[in-house]
Structure 1
């Protein structure tokens, strides 16, 4: 069911099905249109055996076309579509599209809509655009976060007024660059990675964007770096953390970050939907680790939580 901002709605109910459908007895969809103060009316729209005579099928399509034209004149955003079903009966599919339509579920973005999103939202620094292009040529370029996710994280940094942040898993540095550009000049990122190969790609772009001084790159196992900060008394001193590294290590990274963050600090955890595989039976350790963490976070009363379908799934956990 879809409802519109103008309080217009549509409901469709099929009459009892005949078995089998035949060309002599038409079935009907009852399409009820209501539009708040505009009143309402009902229309009976026939559908019949898709193997019916040509004249019968053309008559039904003509009726739906006439109804569609009439409704369009009154409700320009309303459209009606006829399609055959697999059960031998055609079915009229009714829907509202356009600016008035709303949905209770997140949209599936096809290429056209995704391009629209980027065209009408994305604001990249030239260094980000260049780094994204360079990473796309890499054999493992798919590991990079999406640009809209980077921009979303940058917005969070600005909204929070964050100064001290943590990144676990740097790769070629796009997420570090996005966050660093959003930080004030005295802001800092504790960037944890073990790959000089990947992070060496990042450095020239950090320099080009003028943010290299904000990024403290630690080429060592992340847990060792985080534990050293805790031992040095840094608990509660960080505002934001981004986790995007080895999935089996996520739980340990989460626990360390929770200690290092101040109350009200935010942890962003990447890949929590794992290309949809978290909703199926786990067939590998990475998927199982993400499933376990998602269950844990859902019931963790130390945080406020939202799992978002951004990129490959992004969980935001606010420390209470």
Structure 2
């Protein structure tokens, strides 16, 4: 299959709207046992056959994950959602996201998108792997990657990041099997997010490209709506796309892994407000069923897109799609 054909297969039409997936990277992530406090080996074993090898490693029971961004082309607006980790960024405590050199910008170009054509950049939440490509390194300085775009980001998450204290952060111990937290902060998030704010957000704030928005539902145009889904972080949004009776939902980290479709009560260790995170996840699943929506999560590996079906009350299954 040619490069062009592969890239074409990364796009999906939702009525009059084209959504294109840009995959920055993929690979083994956290062990399930560490990622989910409600982890159950029995539950993992129930799904092991279909999860291996695309969604978990066969030998170490690690989550296999992707890092995806989404380009939404409506008849009115071109929108970029969750611009990944970025190159040349130092991320203490998150070595696999630090000092990357990926061909992410080449993938955007192969999708037929010029950086100058992006009208709006959206971020589902302020974890460093979701907004690193807001800037890129040019002549030793981080500048806006999408020079003509308006960046619409959560005021709530921005304030939350500003108040982070890396000194309160926990550590992963026991060979990666347990978290040790003195004051409740989760490992890696604060240490990685603070420099991300400095190299990826402050330059667009200072250049006048960044608009901080309140934590409430907001229409971007006649096809795209930001939906308040606070929980994973205080300022988490999801992005709903609707056109000609069809719906797609870009969910960010409301779910990190397909195992959470079968276990919606499984919050990750990075969910800041656990009760709200679970509520947002259950609402997402119900909305996917009610609208027969194409679900587009950030971290599901290949294939990433899926639809959700209800097999019993509060019990769900996955129907995989093409992206």
Instruction: Give the TM interval when normalised to the shorter protein.
Output: 0.3 to 0.5
More strand by share: 2
The normalised TM-score by structure 2 is 0.38
The normalised TM-score by structure 1 is 0.38
Using CA pairs below 8 Å that are at least 6 residues apart, which structure has the higher relative contact order? 2
